[in-house]
Amino acid sequence: MRHGLQVGVVRPWAQYGLPLEERTLAQALCEAGYATAIVGKWHLGHFAPEYLPTRRGFDHQYGHYNGALDYFTHERDGGFDWHADDKVNRDEGYSTHLIAKDAARFVAETAGKKPFFLYVPFNAVHSPHQAPPEYMAPYANLKGERLKYAGMLAAMDEAVGTIVAAVEKAGVLDHTLFIFSSDNGGPQPGQVTDNGKYRAGKGTLYEGGVRVAAFASWKGHIKAGATILSPCTLPKNFVSPKIWGE
């Protein structure tokens, strides 16, 4: 919000990005001795090398720079957008599967050797709504975009399980904090998604737009099944700085 991104994301091929003076979590953890990786969507600018993930604290990058990516061709607005360590990568396949595979590989190669921070921003379940037929088959009672959305969600759920299984196989499950969150409420409620009792959806400041599914899990540290009802809020003495670009 300090950079005006609450009113619009960094557009494809835009000539700006997250200001270079902004220190990322990845940079802080890298300095603390963690191995760091981003597998999925960057979306914070890519018009110059210094704005790319591997220059912003990540030892490893895999995935795409823009949002709303085609899940199969990996294109956005006529440009190819799939990269590994900030170089063009031609891996073929459904993006959710590719992200899960690379994330699991990073865990297998890193866990137990040094602490690691793995950030996995799936492009699922963002539009365009695309899913392999086998993931939509169990939801044949649904129609149109909602059917596709269900298939996309099922594929992402499976992908999350793949990553968790990799952590468990590496023997570090008890030492790993998992944080999962959506970044907005469901789009097109009533047609594609269902935000339940909450008003409106993605792109609004109503509860349907800002209340999201989220959880944190850390065996032995966070009580299983606990629920926190308090909203995430800014401190009372918070003063909003000048928006970037004003």
Assigned domain for 243 exists: no
Domain count, the chain: 2
**Which of 154, 174, 194 is the endpoint of a domain?**
174
**Which of 116, 151, 174 is the endpoint of a domain?**
174
Q: What is the pLDDT of residue 8?
A: 78
Assigned domain for 233 exists: no
Assigned domain for 230 exists: no
One domain, residues 102 and 13: yes
**Which of 113, 142, 174 is the endpoint of a domain?**
174
Q: What is the pLDDT of residue 244?
A: 33
One domain, residues 94 and 210: no
Q: What is the per-residue pLDDT across 147-175, written as a single tens digit (0 to 9) for each?
A: 999 999 999 999 999 999 999 999 999 99
One domain, residues 158 and 201: no
One domain, residues 191 and 144: no
One domain, residues 145 and 50: yes
One domain, residues 80 and 197: no
One domain, residues 89 and 163: yes
Model's pTM, two decimal places?
0.91
Q: What is the pLDDT of residue 240?
A: 43
One domain, residues 126 and 194: no
How would you write the chain as a 3-class SS string? CCCCHHHCCCCCCCCCCCCCCCCCHHHHHHHCCCEEEEEEECCCCCCCHHHCHHHCCCCEEEEECCCCCCCCCCEECCEECCEECCEECCCCCCHHHHHHHHHHHHHHHHCCCCCEEEECCCCCCCCCCCCCHHHHHHHCCCCHHHHHHHHHHHHHHHHHHHHHHHHHHCCCHHHCCEEEECCCCCCCECCCECCCCCCCCCCCCCHHHHCCCEEEECCCCCCCCCCCCCCCCCCCCCCCCCCCCC
Assigned domain for 242 exists: no
Assigned domain for 238 exists: no
One domain, residues 38 and 159: yes
Assigned domain for 50 exists: yes
One domain, residues 112 and 200: no
Query: For the domain that residue 101 is a member of, what is the CATH number?
Result: 3.40.720.10
Domain enclosing residue 187, as ranges: 177-219
Q: In tens digits, what is the pLDDT along the chain, a chain of 246 residues?
A: 677 666 678 989 899 999 999 999 999 999 999 999 999 999 999 999 999 999 999 999 999 999 999 999 999 999 999 999 999 999 999 999 999 999 999 999 999 999 999 999 999 999 999 999 999 999 999 999 999 999 999 999 999 999 999 999 999 999 999 999 999 999 999 999 999 999 999 999 999 999 998 999 999 898 888 888 777 665 555 454 333 333
